[in-house]
Structure formats: C-alpha cells, structure tokens
Homo-oligomer: A and B are copies of this chain.
C-alpha cells in the first residue's frame, strides 16, 4: 500500500478534499497522509524546507505531492522526480530545491482548469504512480529543475553569519547554520553568545534543549534537523524578535 503525502498551503478550504477525492478515485489502494496544509500562502521556501525535514522519514516508495503553486496555469512546468527512495510530484518552482533526484520528468497531462493543477494534474499523476504506472507515461524526461538559492552559513574567526529560513509554528527561528559550524566554532552547551538580528544585539545562551532554559529566556540550540534554531523557552522568538524568515543573523562567542 503506497503512501501519498500532501504538503500544501490550502489551509481550511475545499481544495484539500478535491485532491484527496481524485487520488482515491484513481488509486483506491493508496493511503493519503497529511504532512501539513498550513504552509504560509505561496511560501515556496518554507514548503521546500518542510518537505526536506519530513519526507525522508517516510517508507521507500512514498510519493510526496506538494501544492504551493502561485504560478499555476502559467508556463511554469509540473514535474515528477525520482530520488533513491521516493517520488516527488508538484510545480517546478523551487519546492523541490533540496531533492537529489536520479531522474526527472515534465508532466504532460491536460488540465480542465487553469487554477487548480493540484486537483487536475498533480493528484492524477501521483495516483497513477501509486498504482504502479511508469513516470515515463506521464510526460517527457528533463535534466534540470528550478532550485531556490538557500545561502550558506559562514564561519570567520569567532563570528558565524547565516540567515533565518523561516519561523516554525512554535515561533522558533530555523536558520541555515548547521551543527558542523557550531562544532567548528567550539561552541558548547551553556555558552553565552551574542546574536545580531535586524540591527539589534541580543544576549543569547546556547543550550542542549528548551527545558534547560528559564521560561521566556532567549536561547539557541541545534534543532531536530541539525540546524541552529533561535527560540524562547515556552514562548515565541518570532514574536520577541519580530522575525519571520529571510533575516540575516550573526552569532558571536561572548556576550
């Protein structure tokens, strides 16, 4: 029983139901699993990250369907990617920036609407893959896909430069600074650091996990995907620092 996961910015409306209905109508033996329908509207960067942080945990053969699609109906392509373990189906707008694919196809299926390829193109493509059809039948092979540039964090002397990718639902600011950079900088749990964000400086403590901080304390830590996140214990760093994604950050050892 192959799984089809859904990651969309549909929120509350009827679009989720139509996509699920199409899938089950075309491939009744599949199981649709919601990742989230609450991607911020049109936030392709967030969709790419959410997919990156959850898709790999699914079993071999899972098909990941993503519909965050501000360019629907224009000349932007629909694509299918085959990675080592999974398929990815959705618009070629950067939502699959993190996917290391072995093969890729442009989907060439007709759509009865110009505004809802999630229902009319991507859901049928995913369902047909789930029921065993070859991706070759859905379109023509391509070599390249569109990727968003996620800037890389840098360590110079005692200063780490990076950026906030997005704020998660707890208000924690997920950055692009990997665990390895923290290790190279020899920052250890308990270290007092200085954070520069939006031209303001903040004292911040590096901890192992939220529970080691006082309630309301500004902290940073290695998040569950291996990147630094800036957080407030039982609060929201996004609110406290008025950040939401895209901001440059500098972290320095010493207060």
In the bound complex, how far is the Cα of B144 from the Cα of A118, in angstroms? 36
Q: Give Cα A245 to B41, complex, Å.
A: 21
Residues of B within 8 A of A115 (CB): 209-210, 221-224
Contacts A13-B168, A170-B13: A54 and B18 contacting too (C-beta < 8 A)?
Answer: yes
Given A17-B55, A224-B113, the answer on whether A36 and B12 have CB atoms closer than 8 Å is yes
> Which of chain B's residues have a CB closer than 8 A to the CB of A76?
211
Binds B, one of A65-73, A191-199, A246-254: A65-73
Bound CA span A22–B223, Å:
17
Identical subunits present: 3
Looking at A11, A34, A114, the one whose CB has the most chain B CB atoms below 10 A away is A114
CA distance A210 to B117 in the complex (A): 12
Q: Which of chain A's residues 32-83 have a Cβ closer than 8 Å to chain B? A: 32-36, 38-39, 41-42, 49-51, 53-59, 62, 70-74, 76
**Per a CB cutoff under 8 Å, which of B5, B14, B25, B53 touches A35?**
B14
B14 & A36 in contact (Cβ 8 Å cutoff): yes
User: Which residues of the partner chain B approach A70 to less than 8 Å between Cβ atoms?
Assistant: 210-211, 233-234
